Chains A and B, each alone.
Chain A
Amino acid sequence: SQTIHQWPATLVQPVGSPLSLECTVEGTSNPNLYWYRQAAGRGLQLLFYSVGIGQISSEVPQNLSASRPQDRQFILSSKKLLLSDSGFYLCAWSRTGGDTEAFFGQGTRLTVV
């Protein structure tokens, strides 16, 4: 069976510090990978998605970047965090081919102070 791991679960970082959130998927190959952000009490906003190693599409301009160094590894980064980067970050994967559900990790609660 497929599993998705996302860590850390919670993170408190000072403004201006770097960020690295990691997500890995097991039990499947060549998945589509996604990073979403969810502000408190709101919907999910797609930040990045990837259809393959080194292939990253950014959905919204922002202070964050994503990388996919391996087939089943997706990393969300920032060089200098802003207060507005606080939120709940969710990694997800889906099978290739379109029209399939996405499976989500348990999320990372990021608080920038």
Chain B
Amino acid sequence: GESVGLHLPTLSVQEGDNSIINCAYSNSASDYFIWYKQESGKGPQFIIDIRSNMDKRQGQRVTVLLNKTVKHLSLQIAATQPGDSAVYFCAENRGGGNKLTFGTGTQLKVEL
């Protein structure tokens, strides 16, 4: 769920390295998860999603892993590029009404 009052955690990686961004969710009834990327001053953009009947899903340079046992979600970005620098949010649909609840977010900084 939300972590109101906390500043964004930051992950710094070297260009070309792989990035792993983690997210913990609290509601075991959540059945749909999304990762969003938000660049400064812009709205979030969809990256990849995963349903609760899956453990892993791959996209272009990105992989999402879902561990329902410990209610943990991760986003892996392969060969991180400067353009990947942004804030990344996980979002969960807690079932019914398609209302997405967002996590606090992680600031990804790519160092040259």
Contact = CB atoms under 8 A, between A and B. Distances in A.
A83 to B, nearest CB: 17
B51 A45 contact: no
A105 B2 contact: no
Nearest to B1: A43
Interface residues of A, number: 31
Interface of B is mostly: loop
B51 A99 contact: yes
B87 to A, nearest CB: 9
Interface of A: 6, 32, 34, 36, 39, 41-46, 49, 51, 57, 59, 90, 92, 94, 96-107, 109
B60 interface: no
A103 B31 contact: no
Contacts of B42: 106-107
Contact of A107 (B2, B36, B43, B102): B43
B2 A41 contact: no
Nearest to A4: B43
A101 B4 contact: no
Contacts of A104: 36, 43-45
A45 B93 contact: no
B59 interface: no
